[in-house]
Amino acid sequence: MANEFPDNIIIVGAGVFGLSTALAIARRFPSTKVTVIDRCTPPVQDGTSVDTSKILRPDYVDKVYEKLADEAQALIKNDPELQPHYFERGFTFCTDGQDGEMNTLWEQMFDNIKETQPAARWNELKDPESVYRHLHGKNGDPTPTSKLAGPRKWIKGYTSKRCATVNAEGMVKVYYERCCQKHNIDFVVGTPVDRLLYDAYSSVDGVVLEDGRELRAQKTILATGAWSSRLVNLDQQMHANAVGIAYFRLSSEEYEKYKDIPCHTNLVTGVNIFTPLGGYLKILRRTTGLRNTTTLKDPEDFTKTYQASYPLTKLDDPTQTLSADMEQSIREEMREILPQFANHPFAQTKFCWLEQTTNGEFLICPHPKFNNLHLATGGSLHGWKFLPLLGEFVVDSISGTLEDLLVKKWSWESKADSKQNKFGFMTPGPNIVPLPIVRPKPGERTPPIKTQARGATILPNFVGLKFQVHNGKIYNDVTITEAMVGHKLGEFSP
């Protein structure tokens, strides 16, 4: 039986879950007022939903996700506004061939594609030479083992030709612009949500912003991803993890050579190589997720605190960089599979924060304790590809019309009872705090740190560093002195 749909709704979070939900409500319930809140104007630069590239892959062992991913990819591919950001280059899944959980997962995935897809839509790479030449051309020879730091890791693989790479930021911008065109969707940006607003009967009436403003609605939807733990205690449901990302700037010749390569992933080492976009080659190191363990007020009892991993991005600390061991591991992988980039300087590095549920399933359900609070989060490294469908699922969940199978998969209870992430994704790893600051060697010239984090507090270890701070129009040069400590970066870039 369908539920009565609210007259007004607050959505906290303007990523793919939040924006797609706002659009689905506007289409299906045009009289419902929707307010979307985020600390930044979409596309939110440090949000999980926004990156240079994301992968659309319908290759699941789980038949439910495979069907939904196929449907979502077709919708994206045939959307005239999204299509310019869509590049169907395929996706190559590799392994080291050694016994273990990830190799077993690879075999299951390969068996599935052989059973369900015609031979023209996939090809097998049976040895290291085939894997290497798939990237470099038929005359390429793999790096000699004597030049590697250890045993070969890119031993075999297969390519699924139906997978695609997308410009994630471009697609999120399209969704944001569509929201702006709807008469019943408003945005409140620039000020983070401080806490949920509760009444005396364990119901959520809306939110309180950090500046003290109260915004009320009949239903509040949390689409806050890795930032959720500040607003609701999800300790038994999901955790915020970070993965390291590095970018290589390509020459025009390099870009021309590699622009059409498929994405590659090594399931064992956790390194992803993305189809180049915009002149840059993106490398992601997945493996064990990094944490930023923080003491937070328990949203359910402000007299208590609890420990949770909470995102720390370059908008918070523009000096962030990858650790030396993370950089070394990326370069060792490059030495085997893309040796010409092994010693190239990184054009940029960052951490991408992801919300990972305990079983890899989304969290789309009412909160079991607080009335009028709905959860739409838990992308778990694979939610992005369902962009056109996520909002429909959330609206169905609120309406009480979501398919029973999906209700069970995305329920609160399914996470609390789970002991294993069936997709083989990350487990929480070491902390990233304090993050190292790389300072120039004597006589070495390094480019300034470019940032839009005007609200970042200048810390003592910033002294001597050079920044380019955006003022809304241009980047201004700022060299940090001791007198600036404690101030905001934006004060020196008017």
Q: Which helix (H) or strand (E) holds 188?
A: strand 185-189
**Per-residue model confidence (pLDDT) at position 465:** 82
Work out the number of other CB atoms within 10 angstroms of the CB of residue 101: 10
**Per-residue model confidence (pLDDT) at position 299:** 78
CA dihedral sign of residues 290, 21, 37, 415: negative
How open is the CA angle 42-44-47, to the nearest 5 degrees? 140
The residue whose two tokens read 């051309």 is 137
**Per-residue model confidence (pLDDT) at position 416:** 66
Written as six digits, the tokens of 224 are: 């806050």
Which has the closest alpha carbon to 232: 282, 195, 276, 207?
A: 195
Phi/psi-derived region of residue 153, left when phi > 0, alpha when psi is between -120 and 50, beta in every other case: alpha
- Please state, in angstroms and rounded to a whole number, the distance separating the CA atoms of residues 400 and 355: 25
> Torsion over CA of 282, 287, 289 and 290, rounded to 10 degrees?
-70
Using the 8-state DSSP alphabet, how is residue 407 labeled? Answer: H
Mean pLDDT within 234-260: 92
**Per-residue model confidence (pLDDT) at position 474:** 82
Work out the number of other CB atoms within 10 angstroms of the CB of residue 411: 19
Residue-wise pLDDT for 46-97, tens only, equals: 888 887 789 999 988 899 999 999 999 999 999 999 999 999 999 999 999 9
Residues 6+ apart with CB under 8 A from 29: 5, 395
| Confidence check: pLDDT of 201 > 90 | no
* 205: confidence class by pLDDT, cuts 50, 70, 90: very high
Written as six digits, the tokens of 19 are: 């924006």
Is pLDDT larger for residue 320 or for residue 33? 33
Q: For helices 128-136 and 324-337, what crossing angle results, to 10°?
A: 90
Q: In the predicted model, what is the mean pLDDT of the chain?
A: 88
Pairing type for strands 86-87 and 164-166 reads antiparallel
Using the 8-state DSSP alphabet, how is residue 31 labeled? Answer: T
- Please state, in angstroms and rounded to a whole number, the distance separating the CA atoms of residues 308 and 224: 15
- Please state, in angstroms and rounded to a whole number, the distance separating the CA atoms of residues 231 and 207: 9
Cβ distance 488 to 457 under 8 Å?
yes
**Per-residue model confidence (pLDDT) at position 452:** 61
- Please state, in angstroms and rounded to a whole number, the distance separating the CA atoms of residues 5 and 401: 11
- Please state, in angstroms and rounded to a whole number, the distance separating the CA atoms of residues 286 and 244: 7
Residue-wise pLDDT for 424-469, tens only, equals: 444 445 554 433 344 445 555 566 776 666 666 676 667 888 888 8
- Please state, in angstroms and rounded to a whole number, the distance separating the CA atoms of residues 157 and 125: 5
Q: Which of 21-25, 239-243, 428-432 has the lowest mean pLDDT?
A: 428-432
Which has the closest alpha carbon to 209: 224, 218, 196?
A: 196
Give all domains of the chain, ordered by start, each with its CATH number.
8-430 (3.50.50.60), 449-492 (3.30.860.10)
- Please state, in angstroms and rounded to a whole number, the distance separating the CA atoms of residues 379 and 364: 10
- Please state, in angstroms and rounded to a whole number, the distance separating the CA atoms of residues 105 and 61: 9
Mean pLDDT within 119-138: 94
Mean pLDDT within 199-218: 94
Which has the closest alpha carbon to 175: 38, 369, 364?
A: 38
Q: Which of 238-242, 289-293, 405-409 has the lowest mean pLDDT?
A: 289-293
Percent share of the chain, pLDDT over 70? 90
* 106: confidence class by pLDDT, cuts 50, 70, 90: very high
Query: Residue 149: how many CA atoms within 13 Å on its side-chain side?
Result: 13
Mean pLDDT within 124-135: 96
Residue type, 89: R
Percent share of the chain, pLDDT over 90? 61
Can you spell out the DSSP letters for 418-459?
--S-TT----EEEE--SPP---PPTT---PPEEE--TTPBPP
Residues 6+ apart with CB under 8 A from 56: 69, 72, 73, 76, 86, 163, 164, 165, 166, 385
Mean pLDDT within 36-42: 95
